[in-house]
Structure 1
Amino acid sequence: MLESDVFNRKSTSSALISPAIYNITIGFCLFWGFFVNWLLVVNVAPESLWVINPWVFFIGYLASCFFGVYLFNSSEKPLISFVGYNFVVVPFGLIVNMVVSRYNEALVIEAIRITAGVTLVMMILGSVYPKFFQKISGALTVALLAVLVVELFQIFVLGIHHDWIDWAVAVIFCGYIGYDWGRANQIPKTLDNAVDSAAALYMDIINLFLRILRILGRK
């Protein structure tokens, strides 16, 4: 997971906005990210992505994501942060395109519905119990790193993949959604912070969606 330091901001020189506009901005940015992903899935043939050299694709994916995170982390201007957000959305969208092409439409829609429902629940919990999610943040990070190391070892060394890993990662990102949403409502409510918070939540939600899709696909 790409870490964002937006939630460490305790003060700002930018103009504050109302909580309603702040949350609407987060919602709009999330919708935009998912809309761009949908456009990529509809208009980009997954076969054209599979023929790209895996290392070239992987390096380009990381470069774009890290550049996007750098932009929205380092800028206090909403427009620049939004541009950085899109540098994250596009490579994630290409990954989503490659993954969903393996499943039928009904399964993908079901995964979207479950992800949306889980996200809503975790946002509510993040609002009600922000201190709880703060307490488990360290455990979430350690657990995610540990699970990813085990997953990579299994795939590249043992050539296997255990089903429990997808469940574990899905649970971890549920925790991250609650954690990041709780933090998003504790920092100064500015347009730039709204965009940056949406970027962090977007990455949580997409990762959750991909794992839920894999879990449903096995059934």
Structure 2
Amino acid sequence: MFENENLNRGIEPLEPLAAEKGVGDGKRLSLRAYSLALTGFVLAGFLVMGACASLFASPAFLMAVLDHYLSVAILSTVASIVGIVMMGSGKKRQAVGLSLAGYAVFVLSFGFTTSTILLSYTAATISTAFLATAGIVVVFACLGVALPQVFEKIQGVLMGALLALVVVQVVMLFMGVSQTWIDFVVIVVFCGFIGYDFHKAMYDEPTLVNVVYNASELFLDIINVFVRVLSILGNRD
């Protein structure tokens, strides 16, 4: 996760907060347009992931990827990092073209790699996981707006918990221990990130560049929840 500076303010109207931050020469959007664009970019990420998953319906394509999986994984990881760097640079400069290009690179590379997970599950399980994730997102997005001070205070805790989870998962992987319980913990942690990042997005300067950057953070949060919900439902099938 790449987080912006901590927000140490109470709830105020969007416009004054955006002006106070002094960001951006980008063209300002209305709150409605900003919210719709944020939702659209996140959904676009899922559509790209679904499109990538459909490519694996071809046995020839699937075998080609499996034969060169390490190279594909490394290339996808590098491309994802490049996309994130491009979006970060675009946000600082309020450069729309650079931000959009970075988001495209990030979503295509990350979505392609993540889409391979879908191959292990049925269409019914994927649909159920998607609906469950959508419900979780709505709830915590609303909480992020309604309880901003709470999510600002727990941001550090969330980051610490995420780092701890990474270490625990690596250790348990080498030990060959079941990690089913970690799915629930990861969901809880990223629910917190969804609330924080949505609140942060709503109080950011309402420009297209910031929409793109905030959408990438929310997309990462939501994907982590979706994958873990999918894992839990798949284990019950």
TM-score by length of 1: 0.92
Bigger shift: 203-212 or 71-80?
A: 71-80
Bigger shift: 9-18 or 102-111?
A: 9-18
Count the aligned residue pairs: 216
Aligned pair partner of 2:207 in 190, 211, 214: 190
Bigger shift: 103-112 or 25-34?
A: 25-34
Alpha carbons of 1:48 and 1:160: their partners in 2 closer, same or farther (altered >3 Å)? farther
Aligned pair partner of 1:20 in 19, 28, 32: 32
Q: One-letter code of the match for 2:96?
A: P
Identity %: 31
RMSD between aligned residues: 1.8
Question: 8 Å contact 1:16–1:188 — kept in the other structure?
Answer: yes
Alpha carbons of 1:70 and 1:4: their partners in 2 closer, same or farther (altered >3 Å)? farther
Tell me how far apart the structure 1 counterparts of residues 96 and 156 of structure 2 sit (CA, whole Å): 29
- The CA deviation at 1:153 is 1.3
Tell me how far apart the structure 2 counterparts of residues 133 and 51 of structure 1 sit (CA, whole Å): 44
Where structure 2 has 5 or more consecutive residues not aligned to the other structure, the ranges are 8-17
State the partner residue of 1:199. Answer: 216
Question: 8 Å contact 2:197–2:214 — kept in the other structure?
Answer: yes
Q: One-letter code of the match for 1:151?
A: Q
Question: 8 Å contact 2:141–2:198 — kept in the other structure?
Answer: yes
Q: One-letter code of the match for 2:68?
A: I
State the partner residue of 1:134. Answer: 152
Describe how 1:140-219 pairs up with structure 2 within 5 A.
140-155=158-173, 157-219=174-236
Tell me how far apart the structure 1 counterparts of residues 130 and 72 of structure 2 sit (CA, whole Å): 25
State the partner residue of 2:121. Answer: 103
Alpha carbons of 1:17 and 1:53: their partners in 2 closer, same or farther (altered >3 Å)? closer
Question: 8 Å contact 1:69–1:84 — kept in the other structure?
Answer: yes
SS in 2 for 1:101: helix
Q: One-letter code of the match for 2:37?
A: T
Runs of 4+ aligned residues of structure 1 deviating over 6 Å after TM superposition are 6-9
Tell me how far apart the structure 1 counterparts of residues 4 and 52 of structure 2 sit (CA, whole Å): 28
State the partner residue of 2:67. Answer: 51
- The CA deviation at 1:95 is 2.8
Describe how 1:40-119 pairs up with structure 2 within 5 A.
40-45=52-57, 46-54=62-70, 56-75=71-90, 76-119=94-137
Bigger shift: 75-84 or 164-173?
A: 75-84
Whichever of the two has the greater Rg, that structure is 2
Aligned pair partner of 1:124 in 142, 165, 184: 142
- The CA deviation at 1:47 is 4.2
Question: 8 Å contact 1:180–1:201 — kept in the other structure?
Answer: yes
TM-score by length of 2: 0.85
Question: 8 Å contact 1:49–1:98 — kept in the other structure?
Answer: no
Alpha carbons of 1:199 and 1:6: their partners in 2 closer, same or farther (altered >3 Å)? farther
Deviation digits for residues 148-192 of structure 1, max 9, x if unmatched? 11101111x212232111111111111111110000011111111
- The CA deviation at 1:52 is 2.1
Bigger shift: 83-92 or 145-154?
A: 83-92
SS in 2 for 1:14: coil
Deviation digits for residues 56-114 of structure 1, max 9, x if unmatched? 33322321111111111111122321211122212222233211111111001100000
Tell me how far apart the structure 1 counterparts of residues 113 and 77 of structure 2 sit (CA, whole Å): 12
Tell me how far apart the structure 1 counterparts of residues 138 and 151 of structure 2 sit (CA, whole Å): 15
